[in-house]
C-alpha cells in the first residue's frame, strides 16, 4: 500500500479526490488531509506518507511555498491544479507531472501508477522539484529538464542550437555538439520555448534566432547558422522569420 495525504483548501476537491482514489486506486491508503500550507506541514509531522497530492493555490500560500520547508522531500509529489499558465509552464520546464482539475480517474490512475513504479524502483522523490522551486521563486525559465529513455538532462536554453523533429520525437542539437532526443513532439516544444528566442522555420525545425545569419528572401531555400550549418526553411515561414530577425536587430 502507498500512504498518501491530500493538501487542498477546497473541501469539494478533497472529497472528489478521495472518492476517485477509493474507487479507482485500491493500492492507496489515505492517511490524512489538510486545507493549506501550515495545516499541511503539521500533518506531515504527524503521519508517515509516501506521497502527497498538493494543490497550487491555497488560502495561506501555494504548494510551492509548502515545498520550500523541505530541503530534501522524502515523499513523492503529485500536483493538482486548476489551469494556471505560469504554474504549468514551470511544470513543463522541469518535466514534472501534474493533474488538471477537475481530475478524472484516467489521469489519476496514470499518476498513481507512475509513483508506485518509482517507489518500487530505485528512483527517489524527484530532484526536479528544486528546479521547479527556482523557476517559480525567480521567474527563471533559462533552463529546462528533458526526459529521455536514458534519464533526465538539465539543459540551459542558450546552449541549444536547434531542434529537429522525427515524427513523435524531437532531437535537441546543442552548442557542444551533443544531441538529446525526447519523446515529445516539436510542436510541444514550439509552444513551450520562448518566441523571442526560438523560431519555427520549417515543420521539422525549431531554431535559436540569434544563431541565424540574415538572408535575402527570394533566394533562400535554406538558412545558414553562424557555425555554417544549413537548415531548410519553408516558403510560408520566410516572412515571419525576416520580421523576427529585423526586430531582434533593433
pTM score of the predicted model? 0.77
Q: What's the pLDDT score for residue 84?
A: 77
On the question of a common fold for 2-137 and 144-248, the answer reads no
**Pairing between strand 51-55 and 2-7?**
parallel
Q: Determine the CATH number of domain 144-248.
A: 2.40.50.1020
Residue 191 CA, distance from chain mean position: 12
69-112 tens-digit pLDDT: 988 888 999 998 887 788 888 888 888 888 998 899 999 999 99
Q: Determine the CATH number of domain 2-137.
A: 3.40.50.2300
Question: Which residues, 6+ apart, have CB-to-CB distance to 70 below 8 Å?
Answer: none
The domain ranges of the chain are: 2-137, 144-248
What percent of the chain lies above the pLDDT cut of 90? Answer: 56
On whether the CB atoms of residues 125 and 75 are closer than 8 A, the answer is: yes
Top pLDDT among 175 and 114 is at 175
Amino acid at each position: 500500500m502507498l500512504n498518501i495525504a491530500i493538501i487542498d483548501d477546497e473541501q469539494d476537491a478533497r472529497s472528489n479526490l478521495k472518492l476517485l482514489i477509493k474507487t479507482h486506486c485500491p493500492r492507496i491508503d489515505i492517511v490524512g488531509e489538510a486545507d493549506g500550507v501550515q495545516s499541511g506541514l503539521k500533518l506531515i509531522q504527524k503521519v508517515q506518507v509516501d506521497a502527497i497530492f498538493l494543490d497550487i493555490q491555497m488560502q495561506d500560500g501555494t504548494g510551492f511555498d509548502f515545498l520550500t520547508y523541505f530541503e530534501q522531500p522524502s515523499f513523492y509529489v503529485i500536483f493538482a491544479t486548476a489551469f494556471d499558465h505560469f504554474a504549468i509552464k514551470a511544470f513543463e520546464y522541469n518535466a514534472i507531472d501534474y493533474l488538471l482539475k477537475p481530475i478524472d480517474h484516467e489521469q489519476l490512475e496514470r499518476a498513481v501508477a507512475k509513483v508506485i513504479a518509482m517507489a518500487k524502483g530505485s528512483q527517489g522523490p524527484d530532484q526536479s522539484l528544486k528546479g521547479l522551486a527556482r523557476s517559480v521563486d525567480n521567474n527563471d525559465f533559462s533552463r529546462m529538464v528533458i526526459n529521455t529513455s536514458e534519464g533526465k538532462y538539465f539543459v540551459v536554453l542558450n546552449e541549444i542550437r536547434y531542434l529537429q523533429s522525427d515524427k513523435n520525437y524531437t532531437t535537441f542539437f546543442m552548442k557542444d555538439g551533443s544531441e538529446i532526443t525526447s519523446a515529445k513532439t516539436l510542436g510541444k516544444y514550439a509552444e513551450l520555448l520562448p518566441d523571442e528566442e526560438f523560431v519555427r522555420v520549417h515543420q521539422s525545425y525549431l531554431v535559436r534566432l540569434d544563431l541565424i545569419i540574415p538572408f535575402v528572401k527570394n533566394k533562400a531555400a535554406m538558412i545558414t547558422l553562424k557555425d555554417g550549418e544549413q537548415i531548410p526553411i519553408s516558403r510560408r515561414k520566410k516572412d515571419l522569420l525576416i520580421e523576427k530577425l529585423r526586430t531582434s536587430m533593433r
